[in-house]
Structure formats: C-alpha cells, structure tokens
Structure 1
Amino acid sequence: MRAPLQCVLWDVTNTLLKVRASVGEQYCKEAQRMGLSLSPPEVDAAFRQAYRHHSSRYPNYGITRGLDGQTWWMGVVQDTFSRCRVRDPVLLKTMASNLYHNFCNAENWEVFPDSLKALESCTSLGLKLGVVSNFDRRLERILHVCGLRSYFSFLITSEEAGIAKPNPAIFNQALENCGTPAASVAHIGDDYVNDYLTSRSVGIHGFLLDRHNKRKHNVPRQHRLNSLEELPSHLQLLME
C-alpha cells in the first residue's frame, strides 16, 4: 500500500521567486551610488567569471574552508568589480557589504504569480511544507520580506546544513524535519539534477518545474510542471 503524501519540500530561487533585475544592473546601481560608471553587460560577464571561480575554489560558500556566506559573497562581489578595473580596496569592501545586505530587501526579488496560490493550496490540503535550498543564511529574511516565510515549518539552506544539492544528504536532513518516510514527501524545483534527480534518488516524489517548457531532459509528463498551478492536482493523486 502506498504511503499517502504528508510533506512538500520546495526549492526557492527560480521556483518560488527570482531576482528582479540582472546582477549587472544591481551592481551598477550600487557602483553609481559610489560615483562609478560601469556597463551592466560588462559587470554581468565579470560576475559570471567571479562566481564560477569562487564556486570552484570554495564550494558551498567555502564552509569547509572556514568561510561563511557573507565572506564568500563579499569575495565574489569584490572580484567582480576588480575585473571591471575598480582598484580601491575600501570602495570594493564598502560596495560588497552594501550589496550583500541589499539583497535582503523585497524590492530586489519578484515572487512568481503562481507561487502564493500554490503554497496556499498545499496548506489547505493539510500538508507540511519545508524548504531545501542551495542558499545562504539570508534566505529566512528574504522569504519573510517577500511574504512567504509563514508557509514553511522549516528551512534548510546549504550554508547552514554544510551540504549542498546535489548531495542527497541534504534531503536526508529534510526528511528528518518532515518526520515521515521519503515515500510520503514530494519536492518541487526547477533544476533537473539538484532538484529532480537528487530528490528522487532518496525516494522522494520529485517534480521538475519547467516554466519555459524547455523539455531538455527526458522527464515523464507526470513529473513535469509548466506552472505551479498544475501542482495541486498532482499532489492530490499522491494523497489518495
């Protein structure tokens, strides 16, 4: 007999919400406040290089190397601006600190139109909700200012867990918080490997959110969502 669904886990970035403007635009806005004139495309390119470099050298915010999320992100920001020929160390540190804290503001994030209704539907079905996200410790504050925190019984971020998706151990931590077997848990996320494959590898009912209908991967139709509006009907089937 199949165990009925009791808990739903959520990815956050590009699943429930997204950054409102590009990194280049946001970084250039901060640079302008400091009297600098930079090009968003140039800053975007520099950011991608800096992010790749730091992610490779210090995975998961450098936790195993004695770093934390704030130190890691400030390093990425300073490296980004350095690649755009900003050399003043005091200015670099000031802009990095400002941007780290600015990303906690609601105006920097956009909640997808279907997110709130989906969370409300899950709650009305009596399901326990939790978050499993490759994110730093700012996530709780961001969810709060975006009006989403109250829907979740618990949050697991990769910074605080010390483990990042696609390591399945982060989902095992989530299952402990759920207090139910994997067969009674679903997970929704937009990343094929981190969210879909990894959650299913531990026995969770993984769903891949494909908002732009890219269909890059061979995912069964019953496991794919083009919108969160489709979610309640899928979950109700798992509750029968």
Structure 2
Amino acid sequence: MRATLRWVFWDVKDTLLRVRASVGEQYCKEAERVGLDISPVEVEAAFRLAYRHYSSRYPNYGLSQGLDGRSWWMSVVRDTFSRCRVRDPALLDTMAHNLYHNFCKAENWEVFPDSKATLERCSSLGLEMGVVSNFDRRLEEILHVCGLRSHFRFLITSEEAGTAKPDPAIFKQALQRCGVLAANVAHVGDHYVNDYLASKSVGIHGLLLDRSNQRNARDVPAEHRLRSLEELPSLLQQHKL
C-alpha cells in the first residue's frame, strides 16, 4: 500500500528564488559606493576563485573550524577584492560588512514566477512544508522579505544543522522536525546530487526541478523531473512518485 504524502521539503536558491544580478555586478556596485572602479568581469572571476577556495578549505561555512556564516562570507568578500588589488583593510571590511547585509534585501532576489502559486496550491492540498537548504542563517530573513516565509512550518539551513546536503544527516534532522516517515515526504530541488539523490538516499521521494531540461531519463525518470513548479501540485495530488 502506497504511503500518503503529508509533507513537502524545499530547496530554496535556484528552486524558489535566485540572485537578481550577477555577483560581479552586485559587488561592483558596492565598490563604487566606496570610490573604487573595478570591472564586473574581473570581480566575477575573482569571486569564483575565492568562493572555490573557501568552500574547499572551509566547507559549510567553516563551522568545524571555528567560523560561522557571517565570518565565512566576509572572508570570501575580502579575498575577492584582494584578488582585484584592493589592499586597504578598512575598505575591505566595509564592503564585506555591507555586502553580507545587502543580500538580505528583497531587491537582490528574484522569486520565480511559479513559486508563490505552487506553494499556495500545495497548502490547499493539505500538505505541510519545510525548507532544507545549504544556506546560512540569513535565509529566514530573505524568505520573509520575499514574501515566502509564511508557507513553511520550519527551516533547516546547513549552518543551523551543522552539516550540508548531500549529507543524509540534514534530511534526517528535517524528518525528526516534522515527525513523519520518509515515505510520507517529497523533496523538491534543482540539484541532482544535493537534492534528488540525497533525499532519495533516506527514503524521501526526490523530485528534481530541471527548468532547462538538462537531465535525461537515464538520470531521472520523467515522473521525478519537473520542468516547472506548476507541474508539482498535480503530481503530488496523483502521487505518481
């Protein structure tokens, strides 16, 4: 007998919303405020190097090495601009502080057109919802200013959980939070490994949001792949998982 779906877990970034402008553009806007003139292309390249370095050396915001989300991100920003030949410590600190807080503002995020209606439809089906996201503690404020926070009973970020997807432990924490079996839960996200495979590894019904149709049926069966969030409610209602 097929278990009844009771909960939907959600990834957030690039599933429900995305950064509105490129990192290079946003960082350069902040640099301009303190009198610096740097190319967005140069900043974007420097950011990718800095982000890759810190993600590798200090995974999940460096929690196991004495860091937290705020100090980790500020270090990434400082490193980014240092690679662009900015040497003034005061300027680096100012830009890092401002950018960390700027990303909590609604103007820096774009909610996908199909997000709110899909969340409302899921609620109307009687489904409870929670968030499981590789994000820092700012996520709750971001969801609030973007008008999405009220849809979720709980949020678990990788900073809060102390572990990040694809570690199954973060999904197990979410299951403990909602108090149901994995068979009663679906998880929706855009990342093949972090969302689809990781949720399935603990028995959750993984659903991959594939807006650009990059995955073929050998990777993800058609009934587990969404081209748009608009397809989700009917899939959940029919429980063709």
2:199 and 2:170 map into 1 onto residues whose CA distance is 10
Q: Does 1:20 align with 2:20?
A: yes
Which position in structure 2 is the counterpart of 1:219?
220
1:27 and 1:133 map into 2 onto residues whose CA distance is 24
Q: Is the CA contact (8 Å cut-off) linking 1:5 and 1:239 kept in structure 2?
A: no
Equivalent residues, number: 240
Which position in structure 2 is the counterpart of 1:174?
174
Q: TM-score, normalised by structure 2?
A: 0.98
Structure 1 residue 177: deviation in Å? 1.3
Q: Does 1:142 align with 2:142?
A: yes
Q: Which runs of 5+ in 2 are unaligned?
A: none
Q: Is the CA contact (8 Å cut-off) linking 1:4 and 1:239 kept in structure 2?
A: no
2:215 and 2:66 map into 1 onto residues whose CA distance is 39
Question: What pairs with 1:1-240 in structure 2 (closer than 5 Å)?
Answer: 1-215=1-215, 218-238=219-239
What fraction of aligned residue pairs are identical, expressed as a percent?
Answer: 74
Structure 1 residue 179: deviation in Å? 1.1
1:23 and 1:36 map into 2 onto residues whose CA distance is 16
Matched residue SS, 1:222: helix
Q: Deviations over 1:36-78 (max 9, x none)?
A: 0011111000000000000000000000001000000000000
Letter in 2 for 1:214: Q
Letter in 2 for 1:156: I
Q: Is the CA contact (8 Å cut-off) linking 2:7 and 2:128 kept in structure 1?
A: yes
2:214 and 2:41 map into 1 onto residues whose CA distance is 25
2:219 and 2:168 map into 1 onto residues whose CA distance is 21
Runs of 4+ deviating beyond 2 Å: none
2:47 and 2:179 map into 1 onto residues whose CA distance is 40
Q: Is the CA contact (8 Å cut-off) linking 2:134 and 2:164 kept in structure 1?
A: yes
- In structure 2, do the counterparts of structure 1 residues 222 and 112 end up closer, same or farther at CA, with 3 Å as the change threshold? same
- In structure 2, do the counterparts of structure 1 residues 239 and 126 end up closer, same or farther at CA, with 3 Å as the change threshold? farther
Q: Which runs of 5+ in 1 are unaligned?
A: none
2:154 and 2:164 map into 1 onto residues whose CA distance is 17
Matched residue SS, 1:91: helix
Q: Is the CA contact (8 Å cut-off) linking 2:223 and 2:240 kept in structure 1?
A: no
Q: Is the CA contact (8 Å cut-off) linking 1:210 and 1:224 kept in structure 2?
A: yes
Matched residue SS, 2:116: helix
1:109 and 1:160 map into 2 onto residues whose CA distance is 22
CA RMSD of aligned residues (A): 1.2
Structure 1 residue 238: deviation in Å? 2.1
1:237 and 1:168 map into 2 onto residues whose CA distance is 27
2:136 and 2:15 map into 1 onto residues whose CA distance is 16
Letter in 2 for 1:86: V
2:4 and 2:240 map into 1 onto residues whose CA distance is 5
